[in-house]
Amino acid sequence: MNTLIVGAGVVGESLAEQLSLEGHRVSVIDRDRHKIKKLGEKLDVLTVHGNAGMPSVLYRAGIRSAKMVIAVTDIDEVNLVVGMLASKMGVKHRIVRIRNQEYLEKDCVISLNELGIDQVINPDPAIVNALVRMIEIPGSSDFATLAGGQVLMLGFDITKDSPLVDRTMAELREVGKLDAFLILYITRGDKVIVPKGQDKIEPGDNIHLLVSSRTVEFVAPFIHKTPRKMDHVIIAGASRVGLQLAERIQNKVERVFLIEPLDEVAYEAGEHLNNTTVLKGDETDLDVLEEAALDECDLFCAVSDDDHRNMMSALLAKKHSPTSAAVLVHKPEYVPVMDSLGIEIVLNPRLVTVGEILMHVRHGHIHSVTRLAESRAELLEMEAPENSPAVKKKLRDLHFPSNALLGAIVRNGKMQIPTGNTQVKPGDIVVVFSLPDAISKIEKLFTRRRWF
Q: b/e for 230-255, b at 16 or more Cβ within 10 A?
A: bebbbbbbbbbbbbbbbbebbeebeb
Same fold, 126-223 and 352-445: yes
Could you say which architecture CATH assigns to the domain 126-223? 2-Layer Sandwich (3.30)
The span from the CA of 3 to the CA of 24, in Å, is 7
Q: What element of type H or E holds 211? A: strand 206-212
Strands (E) in 91-193, as ranges, are 93-97, 119-121, 140-146, 151-157, 181-188, 191-193
pLDDT digits (tens, 9 = 90+) for 132-157: 999 988 888 888 888 878 888 899 99
Sheet holding 324-328, edge to edge: 277-280, 255-260, 232-236, 299-302, 324-328, 345-347
pTM for this model (two decimals): 0.82
Does 2-122 carry CATH code 3.40.50.300?
no
The span from the CA of 416 to the CA of 212, in Å, is 8
pLDDT digits (tens, 9 = 90+) for 352-372: 888 888 877 765 567 777 877
Domain ranges of the chain: 2-122, 126-223, 232-347, 352-445
For residue 290, the one-letter residue type is: E
The span from the CA of 146 to the CA of 125, in Å, is 15
Q: Determine how many CB atoms are found less than 10 A away from the CB of residue 23.
A: 10
Superfamily classification of domain 352-445: Regulator of K+ conductance, C-terminal domain (3.30.70.1450)
The span from the CA of 133 to the CA of 249, in Å, is 10
The span from the CA of 184 to the CA of 208, in Å, is 6
pLDDT digits (tens, 9 = 90+) for 95-116: 999 888 777 776 666 777 777 8
Does 232-347 carry CATH code 3.40.50.720?
yes
The span from the CA of 326 to the CA of 328, in Å, is 7
Q: b/e for 270-304, b at 16 or more Cβ within 10 A?
A: beebeebbbbbbbbbeeebbeebebeebbbbbbbb
Q: What is the DSSP letter of 209?
A: E
Output the pLDDT for position 45: 94
Each residue's pLDDT tens digit in the chain (452 positions)? 899 999 998 889 989 988 888 788 999 999 999 999 999 999 999 999 999 999 999 999 999 999 999 999 999 999 999 999 999 999 999 999 988 877 777 666 677 777 788 888 888 888 999 999 999 888 888 888 888 788 888 999 998 888 889 988 888 877 654 456 888 889 888 788 888 888 999 999 989 998 888 888 778 778 887 777 899 999 999 999 999 999 999 999 999 999 999 999 999 999 999 999 999 999 999 999 999 999 999 999 999 999 999 999 999 999 999 999 999 998 877 888 887 888 989 998 887 888 888 877 765 567 777 877 555 688 888 888 888 888 888 888 888 888 888 989 998 888 888 888 899 998 899 999 888 888 888 888 887 644 43
For residue 20, the one-letter residue type is: S
| DSSP three-state, residue 391 | strand
Nearest in space to 1 (alpha carbons), one of 73, 89, 70, 88? 70
